[in-house]
Amino acid sequence: MINVASFGFVERLSGLPDGGQLTGGVNHFFNIAIIFFFLCIVYVIAVEVPKSREKTKKDMEFFCSSNGFDYDPAFSSFELLKGGVSAAPAPEKKGFFKKLSLAGTGGSPLGFTGLEFFWEGQHRCAENLVLVPFKNGKLYFFDYGYSEVYRKGTRYFKIALMKVSSPLPEFALKPKGDGLLDKVFTDLGDAAKNLELPGRPEFSRKYFLLAREPEAAFAFLTEERTRVLEENSDWTVYAAGEYLALFNNRVCVTPENYRAYIDSAGDLLEALKV
């Protein structure tokens, strides 16, 4: 028989740490890794986020001054937009609106508009308000975001908001072809049934149309307006009373293309004659 000890095998084995030493070393490594990861998060929140916000503010100030727009990071202009209207409570959700989103907690910085979109999700926030001259008034462009419980994430939008002179019916237009969004609206059932616009099959192929009072929405969506929307079918539109909001979430808006985004939104609103 071969004497294993003669090869020094036993001696080498006896020099290895036991299981307890190995476990302790691994735990120590993971503890250090967790502490390092936590410190990285603290650094990002305490240093990088403020730096990023300050850079964004400077970029926005430069962008607005270069284009003749007003920049209002404090959103003080919204007091004028509200016209003295106090912040509205969350509306009672009925029918399809009740199923569209989970009821959010807390207030909404744009609840006064009456637009259902601004009550979706939770932890709603708006920032980087840009005021753009439009007709005899202003268009309000801003970043808007809210968190979603069922997706465990935050959604962001570049919104264009307009106050109109004549009251609008309450309706929502959402582009088709977004996969998951299509499925959501398909699964909502009869309470959230998508409306087919009479005589406009191409429009109905491109958009989900939701409205509390279908006939009022149909009356607003004239042949000319539906033709314009068919040619701009990437835009989501919400309307109710004195306010209309729209956004194109298929475009990643950057400082380089922000002016083009603003022009596109203005052209669409001009063509809709609201």
For residue 47, the model assigns a pLDDT of: 58
Tell me, yes or no, whether 78 lies in a domain: yes
| pLDDT per position as a tens digit, 57-77 | 888 889 899 999 999 887 777
Residues 206, 247 share a domain: yes
Using the 3D structure, point to which of 66, 101, 122 is the last residue of a domain: 66
Structure tokens at 169: 């019916």
Distance (Å, whole) CA 265 – CA 253: 12
Residues 206, 144 share a domain: yes
Structure tokens at 117: 């979109």
Residues 100, 50 share a domain: no
Residues 226, 101 share a domain: yes
Using the 3D structure, point to which of 66, 97, 121 is the last residue of a domain: 66
Residues 30, 120 share a domain: no
For residue 246, the model assigns a pLDDT of: 96
Distance (Å, whole) CA 67 – CA 257: 13
Q: Considering the entire predicted model, what is its pTM?
A: 0.71
Question: Nearest 5°: phi and psi at 205?
Answer: -70, -30
For residue 92, the model assigns a pLDDT of: 45
Q: How many CB atoms lie within 10 A of CB 250?
A: 12
The three-class DSSP label of residue 257 is: coil
Structure tokens at 174: 């959402």
* String of DSSP letters for 48-92: IHHHHHHHHHHHHHHHHHHHT-EEETT-THHHHHHTTPPPPPPPP
| Per-residue pLDDT in tens (0 to 9) along the chain, 274 residues | 545 444 444 444 445 455 555 566 667 777 787 887 777 776 656 656 567 667 878 888 898 999 999 998 877 776 666 654 434 344 444 443 333 333 333 567 888 898 988 888 888 888 889 999 998 888 999 999 888 766 567 788 999 999 998 899 999 999 987 654 555 554 444 335 688 899 999 999 999 999 989 999 999 999 999 999 999 999 999 999 999 999 998 999 988 899 999 999 999 999 999 8
For residue 172, the model assigns a pLDDT of: 93
- Domain carrying residue 42: 21-66
* String of DSSP letters for 220-252: HS-HHHHHHHHHTTT-EEEEEEEEEEEE-TTS-
Tell me, yes or no, whether 110 lies in a domain: yes
Residues 159, 173 share a domain: yes
Per the structure, the count of domains in the chain is 2
Tell me, yes or no, whether 254 lies in a domain: yes
Which residue type, as a one-letter code, is found at position 198?
P
Residues 174, 102 share a domain: yes
For residue 93, the model assigns a pLDDT of: 43
Tell me, yes or no, whether 91 lies in a domain: yes
Tell me, yes or no, whether 162 lies in a domain: yes
Tell me, yes or no, whether 13 lies in a domain: no
Residues 168, 58 share a domain: no
